[in-house]
Structure 1
Amino acid sequence: MDIVAALEADSGTTCVVGAGGKKTTLAALASRLDRAVVTATVRIPIFDDWVDRVVVTEDPVGALGEMTSDAPSDSSDPESESEDGWPLGLVPERERDDRYRGYDPAVVDELGEFDVPVLVKADGARMRRFKAPSSKEPQLPRTADIVVSVASVHVVGEPLSESLVHRVDEVSKITGLSEGEEISAADVAAVLASEQGGLKDVPAGATAIPLLNMVDDDDLEATAREVAAEIHDRVDVPRVVLAEMRAEDPLVDVV
């Protein structure tokens, strides 16, 4: 099994939420797929360096149609599809020098009509390593097939603080931690397994897959396995994925 198979990202719409490696997860998946669309329903940092090209357009369906010879998933001529230009980035506007805007989730739903894997950044974390969503997050398309909720195992043993955690108050509500208290493996699991946390607004029929990232040594792998066991104690998910997304082979294990 590789990281694409572990996250079931080889088809349909895969949305990545959480903190501690969303961008690297999207990049790792995109680089391992023959064809993929990378997009967002929220702001996304400039990502031109890890896709073949970015198309800035208010008509992403038309742009994707051109790439696939205007052939949605029922095309009778798959051989007509372009072999160049993948992975393709689609965004509506360059908002600032360092980021693009994202599409409304309903627009991303339309992209799912094509026989191309769609990879979606569906919330923000301001470069932190752990988070719980606000009332307005995540921005998930209704037709999402997979929702990958990311957390960095590096936060275990660290204090609950703004420097590491996005939306400290929301994490406190789920875990009972006060700011400055040490984050445990059980706390990370509680957030990832919560319907107010990693499972928030996952569409009916979608599969939720927690991803523990930055597992870059044996001690952190042991910590990640502890978090994974705690997740399985709390919620029915098919697997918890352990990874180091910056590695040549990102997949550490599946629990």
Structure 2
Amino acid sequence: MREAANWHDAFDLTETEHIALVGGGGKTTTLWSLGRELAQRGPTIVTTTTKAGAPPADVALVEWDRPLPDRSLHELVADALQRSALVAVGSGVRDARLRAVTPEIADELFFRCGANYVVNEADGARMKPFKAPAEHEPVLASTTTLLVVVIGIDALDAPIDEEHVHRPERIADLTGAKLGDTLSAARIAAIVNEYEARCEDVDESARFAVLINKCDEGPQDARVSAITAALRDVELSSLVAASQREETRRWRVR
């Protein structure tokens, strides 16, 4: 285990990436933290194929509510990238949420809109630390190069119910648990495996990673060890622990 200097180091990112964030436990916080860091390296677009927190006021916004791209999308994004190295693209902003674009638009943003990096929030968790994907989730673009499952460490040993997790019935169905049972590390690993199985629509070269978030007691927290042990048989390109409460710190666990 080692402390990573930044997200780029933690996830072994290349100079061009299309990153999809899924799961729970602070995806939107990670979305903007990752976007701001990557924008220091090159033009970066933050988007969502579901919903995400509204972009901060200093981030250039492009609204595109059509299902397919055309030249005017390229022009809008090019203009925004001239004003800011970090651009948000969504179908609109309503109720303090950035609204979804289609996977086809997310692909276009990565392929033809001049960005080195695209960061996509690809499913929602209603601010819960853990979730299981619905049948239609995650909503992944085919050009995704890295899928990161975000887990809030506070989900471990919580009851599988509406108060503590998103889609508790799906978690129960996929893990053989009952509603109200404890969310064990083994059950967390089963859901991570389910996410990995849903990567069929992305390129076979895409990598799969896990971020254990809210590790405010550091990587020595016994809960990090428990989740890490449960994930030992899951093929991951990286396993990262992070705290983003005050200052952001990240540790490469595996």
Decide which moves more: 59-68 or 237-246: 59-68
Residue identity in the other structure for 1:240: L
The code of the aligned residue for 2:137 comes to: E
Tell me the secondary structure at the aligned position of residue 251 of structure 1: strand
Q: Is the 8 Å Cα contact of residues 48 and 54 (structure 1) preserved in structure 2?
A: no
Q: The residue matched to 2:85 in structure 1 has which SS?
A: coil
What does residue 121 of structure 1 align with? 121
| Cα drift, residue 115 of structure 1 | 4.1
Q: For residue 57 of structure 1, report the CA deviation from its aligned partner.
A: 3.0
1:46 lines up with 2:54 in the alignment: yes
Alignment match, 1:210: 210
Which residue does 1:86 correspond to in 2?
85
Deviations 1:97-128 (A, max 9, x none): 32232111011111112342111011111111
- Aligned 8 A contact 1:28 1:245 in 2: no
**8 Å CA contact retained: 2:64, 2:91:** yes
Deviation at 1:22, TM superposition (A): 0.6
Number of the residue aligned with 1:3: 7
Unmatched segments (≥5 aa) in structure 1: 69-81
Closer/same/farther in 2, CA of residues 198 and 171 from structure 1, 3 Å limit: farther
**Cα offsets for 1:146-200 (capped at 9, x unmatched):** 11111111111211111121111111122222111111122212211x1x33552
Mean Cα deviation higher: 137-146 or 197-206: 197-206
Q: How far apart are residue 139 of structure 1 and its match? A: 0.5
Given residue 60 of structure 2, which amino acid in structure 1 is its aligned partner? R
1:29 paired with 2:42, answer: no
**Residue type of the partner of 1:125?**
A
Superposition TM-score, scaled by structure 2 size: 0.84
Match of 1:97 in 2: 95
User: Which residue identity is paired with 1:38?
Assistant: V
Quote the Cα distance in structure 2 between the aligned partners of 1:119 and 1:7. 13
The separation in 2 between residues aligned to 1:225 and 1:89, in whole angstroms, is 36
Superposed CA deviations along residues 56-112 of structure 1, whole A, max 9, x for unmatched, are: 2345433223345xxxxxxxxxxxxx4x41211111223x33223211101111111
Partner of 1:108: 106
Provide structure 2 residue ranges, at least 5 long, that are not aligned to the other structure.
66-71
SS in structure 2 opposite 1:48? coil
Q: What is the percentage of aligned positions where both structures have the same residue?
A: 28
| Cα distance change on mapping 1:110 and 1:168 into 2, 3 Å | same
Task: State the distance in 2 between where 1:220 and 1:124 align.
Answer: 29
Q: Is 1:136 matched up with 2:140?
A: no
Aligned equivalents of 2:220, 2:133: Cα separation in 1: 25
Cα distance in 2, alignment partners of residues 198 and 165 from structure 1 = 20
- How many residue pairs are counted as aligned between the two chains? 236
Equivalent residue in structure 2 for 1:13, among 13, 18, 41: 18
TM-score by length of 1: 0.84
Partners of 2:11 and 2:238 within 8 A in 1: no
Contact 2:61/2:80 (8 A) holds in 1:
no
- For 1:207-246, list aligned pairs within 5 A: 207-218=207-218, 221-233=221-233, 235-246=234-245
Paired residue for 2:77, among 29, 40, 64?
64
Question: Separation in 2 of the partners of 1:206 and 1:86?
Answer: 25
* Partners of 1:60 and 1:100 in 2: CA distance: 17
Change (3 A) 1:181 1:213: same
| Other-structure match for 2:68 | none
Q: 1:219 to 1:103 in 2, by over 3 A?
A: closer
**RMSD of the TM alignment (CA)?**
2.1
Q: Which residue of 2 aligns with 1:74?
A: none
Q: What is the distance in 2 between the residues matched to 1:32 and 1:146? A: 16
